[in-house]
Structure 1
C-alpha cells in the first residue's frame, strides 16, 4: 500500500462526480497518528485534521488513491522568473515565512490569531495573508508557489524525477529510438492502485467506454500537473509522455487483474449479463438431448447482389438469410430470406417458418416436397441466439408467452454459435458463390467488370435457391464431425440431419411443441402500449378503433375521465391494423386504422415515423414565421385600440354621465345599424347609369316614415299610395333629358 508522507496528494474517488477531489498532506505528527491536509480543489479551503488510519483505510478500500504526479508542484529555474514576479513572491514570503514555520500551531483554529498579528505588523490585509498561505500550502509548501500563475509554470517536454524509479522494465517504447530519455516508467503499487480505481470509474460503468477512452480519462483526471489555456478554455496540463504510464501498460494490468464477470455486470447490469454474457458450459450438441431441445438462430448477409422483382431489373443489394437449426440433429428447421437487416423482424419471420408446415411453404415457391423431406413444424424448449436481434424486450415476451427459454451466446465464443455459422459457410460454398452477382473474395482489377452488374436473380428466385440448398443439407449432407453417443452407434444412425432427427423423435422425444400459426405470429409480434383518447386508440401518432372499444364506450369515457393505456401488438410492416390484448392475454382483438387517417394506409411504421418527423421539422421551420405573424397582428390590434382610445378621449362630452352613456344603448344600436346599412348597401346597376347619377349629383327625396306602421303599404285600388323607387328613378331621368 502507498505510504503517506508530507506533500502526498490524495485523490478521493466519488462516482458520478465530475469534479476531481484532491487533498495535500501538509503535516504529520511524530507518532504518525494525526495529519493535516488541505483541499486542492476548493480555493477557499483551510487546513483540516485527519487521522493516518482514516487516510490509509481509504487507500486500502479504494475510496482514495495517492497521486504519483503532483498536479500543483512544478519546477521553474530562478533565472526564468521575471523580476516583477520575483518581487511579488519575495514580498509574500516575507509576510508568511514565520507563519508557515509555526507548525502545527498555524493549523490549529484557535491559534490563527497569528494571522491577524502578522497582517497588522506588515500592514497588509488579512485576506491577502490567507491567500498567500493557501497558495503556499496548495503549491507543495515551496517558496515558488507564491509566484503569479505558478500552477501554469514548468518546462513542457523536459523530464523531472518522479516517484517511480529504477531501471525501466518491459519492452522499450518506440520513442526511445528517437530519444533515449523517453524510456517510460515502471508500474509500482501506487500506479496499480490508480489503474484499479480508473478501471472502476471509467471502464466498469454504464457508459461503456472503450478501454482506450478509459485510459485517456485516467490521464486527464489523475495525472495532470497544473493547467493551461487553449483557445480560451482551461485544460489540464499533462507531464511529458516519459513520466506517464503507457496505454500498453494500462492494458496489460487491466487484462492481468480484471474480474471479467464483475466488469461485465458493472457495464451491462445483472440482467444484461445473464441475458448476454453468462457462460454456457459444454459444446452445443452435449447441451441438446433430443430434437427441439435447443434451436440456434443467426443471420448473415448473403454474398450476392439481387435485382428487383417489381421493377425493371434495378439492383437492390444483398439479402439477409436467417437460419434456424436444431442443435441435436443439425436439421435446418427454419429459413427466412429477406431484406430486413439483422433485427427482430427477420428473426420472428424465421421462427414463424420453423413452426410452419414446410410442404405448404415450399409450394408457395413452386417446389414439391413430401412431409418426410422436411418434417419440421415445431417450437423448441430453448433458443440459442447470437448477441444481436434476439437481445430485446421482444425476446422476453416470447419467453413469457410461449415458455421458450432464450439464451444468448457470450462474446467471443464462436464455439457456441458455430453450428449456424458453419451452415452459412457451407451454403456459401455450395450455392451462393456460383450465382451471378456473387461477391468475389478478391479486389476488382482495373478495367474488370463490376460483379454487381452481373446481378440476375430476384428475391423470390434466390429464396428458391436457398430452399433447395436446405433440402440438400437436411437429406444428403453427411456430418463427418458429428459425435454420436453409444445408443446412436448401436442403432447405426447415419450422420445425416433427417436421420438424426427421425431417430431423436422416436428415442429422445418430449422437447418439441406445436402451436397454431396465428397464435405464434401474435406472440412474435413486437408489443407496446396504445393510449385510449377521445379521438381514438392512439399508437405512434395514429388512431385506431375496434368493436370492443365502441361497445364499451372507450372514447366517451376517455373524454369524460381522461386517457389510459392498453397493451397492443403490432406488425411494423403494416400499420393498417394493430391488435389489442387484454391484461390477462386471453382476448385479442384487431383495431383498424380510422378512416380519417387514410394517408397512413398501406404504409410501414418506418414510413409513418419519417412522415411525422418531417412534419415536425416543417412545423419547426414555420414556427418563426408564425410567431412573427402573431407579433405583427397583436401589434396591429394594439394600434387600433390605441387609436380608438384616443378618439374616445377627444370626442366624448365630459358632461355626459356614465349612466346616461349606457341608458340609450338600444337606440344607439338602431341608429348605428341604419348608418351601417347605408354604407354597406349594394348597387348592381350598369356603370353608365351610376356615372350618370354621379355626374348630375341628383338627390331623390324619400319621405321619412316616422312610425313603423307607415312602412306598410297603403293600398288604394290595389296600388300603393307612394311611388316606388323605380318610378322615381324613371321620372328623374326624364327630367334630366
Structure 2
C-alpha cells in the first residue's frame, strides 16, 4: 500500500477530513474527524499501514490548533491509497462486503456526531454494545470505525484490505516473534527509573490471567483491578518468581500493567453468563462533579450498615446484630480520619467513639485490640472547620451538637432530606468499603444489598459461614482504611499544587501537606481535652470520702478531688459527673474553676467491671431466672460428666463451638457485650503501662461496704460466666 501524498492548502478552515501536518519526516498528521462550536476532534495519522493500531479521536481546542499553525504546522489534505480509489461494481461480492461493513459502523458514526459520545468511556461502551448487537467482536467493530475516521470519513476505507506478499526471509523464532509484537509507549517509570520493560507476555501467561479473573468471579462481584492484583500475587509470582521478587524490591517496573491485563482478558476470556454478571466495570460520567473544599478541614461523616455477619467471642458463639460502620473523611484530600465499627444500635454514644478515634492517638486506641497500626501509618486527624452529616438521629442529637459545635467550635451542616450528593465523598467510599470487605476473604461477608432472591441467598450463605468476631472485623476495617489512605487517588492526581510540591497523590500525604501549607489547621488542645468533652453525663453520690456510682466505689485521685472530699466531709451530696459509660474506670466532677475533680475506681470494683458495661449490668439484673437456669444447667452437666464413663471429650484446642441461632433478646445482649469488649480495649489503660496505684482509704474497712463490694462482685461473675467473658 502506497504512502499518503500531502497537498498543502492556504487559509483553510477547520473541516472534517482536512489534516494539519506536524512534521514531514517522519510523516505525522492530525486529521480532523469532528467539528463542534468549542473544539474539534482529531486523530493522529502517519502511514496507511498504521491505521490498524490507530487510537480514537481526541479533543483539541481552537487555540491549540491555531498555536500549531503559528509554530510551523501546515493545513492540507491527504491522498487516498490506490486500494480505496475505486468504488466496487454493484451486485458484486466486494460491494456486498462494503455494505456489510457499513451496516456495522453506520449507527456508530451517527452516534458519534454527539460530542459526549466521543468521551473515552462512552466511546468504548457504544462500540461494545454495537459488537454484541451485530454479533461481531469488539476489536473488529473498533478497527472498522477507527479506519473510517483515519482515512478521512470515507466509506471506501471499509473495503477489505488485500494481503501483502509472503516474506522471503526465514521465519522468526518464537522469542523474536514475541519481542516484535511489543508496542505502545513506555511508562514514565521505565523512561526515568527502571529502563525498558523486557518482560514479554506468553501464551501461558495469558491463560493465567484468564484463570485469575474466573477465580475471582466465582467468589463474587469483581473489578478488573482485583483480578489483576490476584493474578500478580498468585499465578505470576509462581511462574516468574525472580521477576516478581525484583518488582517487590522496587528494582523493576510492574511486569504486566493493568492496561495489559485488561487487554488480554477482554480478548481471550469467554465468560459464562453467571460469571459475567459478577464482573463490575467502573462507569463514570464524562464530566466530574465537584464539592467545595479548598483544602483540608471540611469533613463528611456517615454511618452505614455493614454487609457482614459476626459472632460473639465467648465459648457459646451466637450471631450478633448487624454491625454499623461509622466513617469520617476529609473532603479535599479523601483522607479517612476515623473508622469505627459497632454492633450496638446507632446512637450518639457510638458516634462519640468515632470522634474520639478521629482526634486522638491511634496507638493508644488500638493496642489492646491487637491491631498493627501506629500514628505514623495512620496520622491523627485535626479539628475540622465544618462537619457535614445527614439527618440521622445520632447526628441530630443535642449531646452531639453540644460536644461538636459548642465545645470544639466546629460548624455543623445537616443536609436536607434526599440530598446524599452533599456528602458524596463518604458515600462513594462506603460503596468501595463494602466491596473490599466482601473481597477480603472475611467469612460472613456479602457484597450486594439484599434486593432479590439471589442476593438473599448470598446473605444467607454469609450468615451460615460467619465465624469472625467484632475484633477481627475491626482489624480488617483498619487494613482497608490504611490501604485507601496510602493508595494514589485519581482526583488527587489532578491537583497541580501537589504535583508542583512533589507530594505523592495519596490521601495521607495530601492531607498532611494541605494542613501545613493550605489551611494550617491543627488541634488546639491535647488529646485528653477532646476525650473529656465527648464524655457522657450522669450523677453520682459523694460520702465519707468515696464517690459512689451505680454500686461502684471511686476514690479521689487529684488535688481537686481531695479538696472536694474535704468540703463534703462526713455528709452526703449528689454531683454531676462526666464518664465513659463503656469504660467507667474514672469519673470527672466538673468544678467552677480549675481542673475537674478526678476519681478513679477502687481496684476491687475495677476487676468486677472489666469486660462488661453499665447497660449490660442493668439488662442482666432483670434476667435472674435465665441466669439461675444457666447456673443449674452447668452444675448438672458437671455432675453428669463425673458419673459418665468414659468422660465426655472436650473440644479440640482452637476449634470454635457450634454457632447458635438464638432469640432477639439474647442476640442483643451478646452484641452489646461484644462491642463493650472492644471498647474496653480501645479506651481502658493498657496492661503494659505502669500506673499510679491509689492508696486505700481507711473508711473502706467498714462491714457494710465490704458486703456491698462482695455482692457486686458475685453479680458481675455471674454475668461474665453467662456471656463467656471469663
Q: Please, what TM-score do these two structures have when normalized by structure 2?
A: 0.39
Q: Which has the larger radius of gyration?
A: 1
Higher relative CO (Cα under 8 Å, sequence separation at least 6) belongs to: 2
